[in-house]
Chain A
Amino acid sequence: MTTTTDLLSTEPAAPPPLGGVGFARWCWRQLTSMRVALILLFLLAIAAIPGSVLPQRGTDPIRVSDWIEGNPTWGPILDRLGFFDVYAAPWFAAVYLLLFVSVIGCVLPRTRLHWRALRSAPPAAPRRLDRMPEHRTWDSTASADVILDRAYDDLKARRWRVARGDGWVSAEKGYWRETGNLLFHAALIALLIAVGYGALFGWRGNVIVREGSGFSDTLTQYDAWGGGRLVDPASLPPFAFTLDDFRVEFERGDAQRGAPRLFEADLTLWPAPGDPAEPVVVRVNEPLSVDGAKVFLVGHGYAPVLRLTDALGRVVHDEGVVFLPQDGNLTSTGVLKAPDATPSIGIEGLFLPTAAVDDVRGPHSTFPEADDPAVFLSAWAGDLGLDSGVPQSVYALDTEGMTQLGIEALRPGDSWALPGGNGTVEFVGLTRWASFQIAHDPGKEPALISAMVALAGLMMSLFIQRRRVWVRASASASGATVVSVAGLARSDEADLAPEVDAVVVALNEGSGKA
């Protein structure tokens, strides 16, 4: 009887006979690494939790600084430890990198074993088939050779991997299970690499564009921009667009009143300098793809057009001012700075698309659509502080060193003569702005492919059953042939009875015995 060494064994239940030392080492490696993998998986789950509880710099830097200010003891400590940037923290990286080292350390030897198993015949049938969890024995009138031939042919025809020996046939199937499992783990490594690649070579920026104005893809035009370490900011794809019209609709029914129902931006796009212009529409969920970058519509708001005439009668400002929404009804705040006016003028404004005033909340908006718009302006004169060298937000006015001229509420068409003959402000009308996120992530296609491969491998690994069946036939003292068929599930959960039954049926068919 030939003995074939069973080289592929991932389950502790079927240890490979590699000899004492080999076996011990195999055991140790298997146990420790599986256990370590398990522990690391749990560490990963736990490490991911704080990032969902604490505000994160990447998504919400303002709430992070609020949090730190509100918790003077814990704030700075947690900040130090990276709790406000969990997914970029060294300890988080340590967990997943260790995990992936462990995956590699696990996948490589298993691949080697599996490769060998794929090229060797199934091991010989055990001597006592009645010890197997699923087995049948009966007497047959056919000779042992006929039975075994029949078993061999039948299993072969049903694409089992079959070996035949003296008095036995041994067959195994379900090798794809292990292949799928290895594929799955390897694809996870590929996924991590793809994500890392995207982080190094990808970039993303945000820009606010008013209706009627434009954007061209250079670093200076962005309000915010961030890129991977290996991105050359000078080589952004050179497209440009103007925002011609922005449409938005809100729910007017009682349920979820004020919730947005439609966002649509009409752009005129120049894919590259000198290209003919083409009209395009960008919607939420329908980004624009241009030259390897994608343009997403991510926000919107109002830009009331304010015309400012200074004390000398010069029009120093006459366009939309971007007001940032503060709530779901688009109560918005904005700032107009006119350093060139005489004197320098700064205006803080509150814009209400549907204006209401009450004692508790003061002026506020009751609906996001401009049904009854009004601006509340507060005008200041004096040094805007723009020359001090300290960078300033365009959305905030530093009123230190300025004197307040007065406050006024304006409806469209109203104008306001600033007190002290400092000029006039006119609320000319309304435009909207839209904000776009423009992103380039060269890692996302590889990431998607890796994820799909992982999913396919996972399904193979979970749904394909690894089984063995054996047939033994020998002449008994009475002259009949004793036939035994048995099966063993090599993966946990196989339903063996049907497999064994199928063999029994095949063996009985030819003999005309039920």
Chain B
Amino acid sequence: MTAASLAEWSNLAVYSSMLVLIAALIAFAVSFAARGQRVMSPELVSVGAGAPAPGSAPEQSAEPLAPGRRAGNIAMALTWLATGLLLVGLVLRGVWAGRVPWGNMYEFSLAWTLGILAVFLVVSTRRDIRWLGLPVVFLALLSLGLAVTVLYTEAAQLVPALKSWWLVIHVASAIICGGAFTVAAAISVLYLWRDRAERKGKVTGIVASLPDASRLDTLSYRILAFAFPLWTFAVISGAIWAENAWGRYWGWDPKETWAFITWVIYAGYLHARSTAGWRGRRAAYISLIGFVSFLINYFGVNIFVNSLHSYAGL
């Protein structure tokens, strides 16, 4: 395959992924709306008399497939497909460029979207999070749309400062964290919405298709508890790389500074959750602030600030 056709195939895969995501978005919307009309049965933990059968999963009830459920299944399948296509697009891009496919902002955006979808899908294998599909797919589409319109760059090789194994490790972990922060932020928004409804005592309509606020809270915590050490690792590996490339492991370059700020905010989030009066709503706000800080680090610093890390290639 020639280089040009590799590039075309990569773009084709990305565009197909977007089309499939649009279909998934519609299916998720149908499923979400339909769920809202169903009476939610809260997933009670079995409190049994007699020796209970261990491992009985309370989630899979033998309920007939409601229309919402079928649309949800279709949406999940489409999301898997779109994620696979995006992965293909990214890999082809890397093959074309002969390096890891995160050398500029276009590629980084593709990778970030892949991160968002991957985190969503991995969580979805463990619990039913179809209610989260709509915002997640929406965000993925938004970021892909930005990537192909505003950020698109022809593939080129890396400037020498970016040629390092640490780049691969550092950026890979940052990308996964980006996905996790995004998904957690989406859940935090849903939490705040649901929590408000619960406190008003009016859990009706579409809010009713969301799980309980406390479960939303726990889920976003679990995702962030996974992402925070990974982000710590990303910062450490970045420092190792910086030491190798520039002769200092930390220089308060804007990118480093915002990585630090993001880290401190999420540390604050973890503290807030074990501080009386700060759990719940305030913790959710902190998670959103952390996400904003991540976005500033990613978009703001790359585009607006003169940084050693400005590899936007715009």
Contact = CB atoms under 8 A, between A and B. Distances in A.
- Pair from one complex: yes
Interface of A: 10-12, 31, 34-35, 37-38, 41-42, 44-45, 48-49, 51-53, 56, 58-59, 86-87, 133-138, 195, 204, 251, 253-256, 259-263, 283-287, 294, 296, 298, 437-439, 441, 444, 447-448, 451-452, 454-455, 458-459, 462-463, 492-493, 497-498, 501-502, 504-505, 508, 513-514
A467 to B, nearest CB: 15
Interface stretch (B25-33, B110-118, B250-258): B250-258
Contacts of A448: 236, 239-240, 249
B229 interface: yes
Contacts, number: 166
A504 B52 contact: yes
Contact of A138 (B49, B153, B156, B232): B49
A341 B139 CA distance: 69
Contact of A492 (B251, B274, B276, B301): B274
B313 interface: yes
Interface string B227-271: 011001100100111011111111111100110110011011011
Contacts of B274: 10-12, 34, 492
Contacts of A48: 257, 260-261, 264
Interface stretch (B11-19, B82-90, B160-168): B160-168
A505 B267 CA distance: 39
Closest 5 CB pairs of A and B: A501-B54, A255-B154, A284-B160, A296-B247, A256-B156
Contacts of A35: 275, 278
B38 interface: no
B273 interface: yes
A134 B233 CA distance: 35
Interface in B178-231: 218, 221-222, 225-226, 228-229
Contacts of A133: 45
Nearest to B165: A285
A260 B54 contact: no
B51 A34 contact: no
B264 A41 contact: yes
B123 interface: no
A134 B47 CA distance: 8
A284 B161 contact: yes
B160 A38 contact: no
B42 interface: no
B20 to A, nearest CB: 28
Contact of A251 (B52, B156, B246, B264): B156
B48 interface: yes
A59 B252 CA distance: 9
A138 B48 CA distance: 9
- Chain A interface mostly: mixed
B276 A12 contact: yes
B39 interface: no
Contacts of A454: 232
A42 B267 CA distance: 10
A285 B160 contact: yes
A284 B313 contact: no
A174 to B, nearest CB: 15
Nearest to A284: B160
B6 interface: no
Contact of B225 (A41, A254, A462): A462
Given A41-B267, A261-B159, A298-B246, 13 more contacts: A11-B274, A12-B276, A34-B271, A48-B261, A59-B252, A87-B252, A138-B50, A255-B154, A259-B157, A296-B246, A447-B249, A493-B222, A514-B51
A439 B248 CA distance: 8
A259 B159 CA distance: 7
Among B228, B253, B272, B276, the most chain A Cβ lie within 10 Å of the Cβ of B276
A87 B220 CA distance: 33
12 contacts: A12-B276, A38-B275, A49-B261, A52-B305, A86-B252, A136-B52, A261-B160, A284-B161, A285-B160, A285-B161, A296-B245, A458-B232
B232 A498 contact: no
A251 B162 CA distance: 15
Nearest to A195: B250
B271 A38 contact: yes
Nearest to A283: B160
A261 to B, nearest CB: 6
B64 interface: no
B160 A462 contact: no
Contact of B247 (A137, A251, A437): A437
A106 to B, nearest CB: 11
A444 B276 contact: no
B48 to A, nearest CB: 6
A287 B251 CA distance: 18
Contacts of B250: 195
Contacts of B273: 492
Contact of B261 (A45, A256, A458): A45
Interface in B58-110: none
Contacts of B241: 285
B156 A52 contact: no
Given A34-B274, A34-B275, A48-B257, A502 B267 contact: no
Contacts of B159: 259-261
A432 to B, nearest CB: 15
Contact of B51 (A56, A195, A513): A513
Nearest to A455: B232
Interface in B126-153: 153
Nearest to A130: B47
B54 to A, nearest CB: 3
B49 A255 contact: no
B49 to A, nearest CB: 6
A504 B250 CA distance: 53
Among A48, A283, A285, A459, the most chain B Cβ lie within 10 Å of the Cβ of A285
B153 A255 contact: yes
Contacts of A38: 268, 271-272, 275, 278
B284 interface: no
A445 B64 CA distance: 61
B155 interface: yes
A455 B229 contact: yes
A301 B233 CA distance: 36
